[in-house]
């Protein structure tokens, strides 16, 4: 397997190296965003869940743990609380759009690498009068590695985007519930 990969890299063009390098950077970015955002969102959700429980079980107007309390400085205005919700969600969703961008562009980057690889393979065979399928097939299969790499990156980017989006939605629900309780307690 390693010898096949090394052989592939040895016979690859500069475009293939660029495509694989870009997809490698994409992979690193995808995992970094996911682990960073996921851990931050898990903390925020746990905190806001505790804050909501405090609001529903006590007579206090604000939970000291709540980000809404910190943002609004204890003001129970519906407009201020709504603005705070928006600000908190905006900060919580930093980097999520990159997951969507990477999930949609990485297959095309891989496909670009494949097309270039196939064009180079056919250019190598252009001077030969007869070329058997047994000679063309390995060249095309090597070119398809770029597409596979692009799809590989896209799968993780899309999956992580969906997970993070769901957590942002959950955080938003907790914030909205708290805001409604705070306004109702007036």
**Residue range 121-177, pLDDT digits in tens:** 888 777 777 877 777 777 787 788 889 999 999 999 999 999 999 999 999 999 999
Across residues 22-40, what is the average pLDDT?
A: 96
- Residue span of the structural domain in which 145 resides: 2-185
pTM of the model: 0.85
pLDDT value at residue 155: 97
Q: What value does the mean pLDDT take over residues 72-89? A: 87
Average pLDDT taken over every residue of the chain: 88
**DSSP 8-state class, residue 126:** T
Helix (H, G, I), strand (E, B) or coil at 76: coil
Positive or negative, the CA dihedral 9, 14, 15, 19 is positive
Number of domains in the chain: 1
pLDDT (0 to 100) of residue 141: 79
Q: Rounded distance, CA 115 to CA 32, Å?
A: 29
Supply the DSSP symbol for 64: T
As a whole number of angstroms, the distance between CA 142 and CA 138 comes to 6
In this predicted structure, the answer to whether residue 1 has a pLDDT above a threshold of 70 is no
pLDDT in the model for residue 124: 79
Provide DSSP, 98-158.
HHHHHHHHHHHHHHHHHHHHHHHHHHHHTT-S---HHHHHHHHHHHHHHHHHHHHHHHHHH
Q: Which residues contact 50 (CB under 8 A, 6 or more apart)?
A: 63, 65
């Amino acid at each position: 397997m390693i010898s096949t990969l090394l052989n592939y890299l040895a016979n690859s063009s500069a475009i293939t190296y660029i495509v694989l390098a870009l997809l490698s950077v994409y992979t690193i970015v995808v995992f970094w965003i996911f682990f960073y955002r996921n851990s931050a969102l898990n903390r925020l959700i746990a905190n806001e869940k505790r804050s909501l429980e405090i609001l529903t079980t006590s007579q206090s107007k604000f939970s000291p743990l709540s980000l809404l309390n910190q943002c609004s400085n204890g003001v129970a205005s519906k407009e201020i609380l709504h603005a705070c919700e928006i600000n908190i969600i905006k900060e919580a969703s930093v980097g999520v759009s990159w997951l969507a961008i990477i999930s949609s562009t990485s297959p095309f980057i891989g496909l670009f690498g494949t097309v270039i690889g196939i064009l180079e393979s056919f250019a190598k065979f252009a001077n030969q009068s007869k070329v058997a399928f047994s000679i063309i097939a390995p060249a095309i299969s090597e070119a398809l590695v770029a597409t596979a790499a692009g799809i590989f990156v896209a799968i993780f980017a899309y999956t992580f985007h969906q997970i993070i989006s769901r957590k942002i939605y959950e955080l938003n629900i907790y914030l909205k519930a708290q805001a409604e309780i705070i306004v109702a307690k007036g």
